[in-house]
Amino acid sequence: MTFTILSIVPSLLDTNGDAQNAAVLAQRLRWAGHDAVVVGVEDASELPDRVDAIVVGSGSDSTLEAARARLLTMHDEFRRWAPRACRSSRSARGTNC
């Protein structure tokens, strides 16, 4: 199994290098013996069907409106993923999402 880690709108939400946290997670998975891939996503058309982790960085005031507009295009897909994430989370932790 390959773990898929999304870096959401890294061109706008990487003020402090936050988007690189996705690369760190992927490397830690590799060290643990797993395959991992980082997917940078700039708009909804680039979203994969399945993800294991999402990294969202921070942006500046000047990029806030543009980042918001792009995130809104992804909203429906994030909502579609939520029930699956909750099921996985409950089974892993034995608690509600």
> Which residues fall within 8 angstroms of residue 61, CB to CB, at 6 or more apart?
none
Per-residue pLDDT of the chain (97 residues; tens, 9 = 90+): 899 999 999 999 998 888 899 999 999 999 999 999 999 999 999 999 889 999 999 999 999 999 999 999 999 998 888 776 665 555 555 555 5
Model-level pTM? 0.80
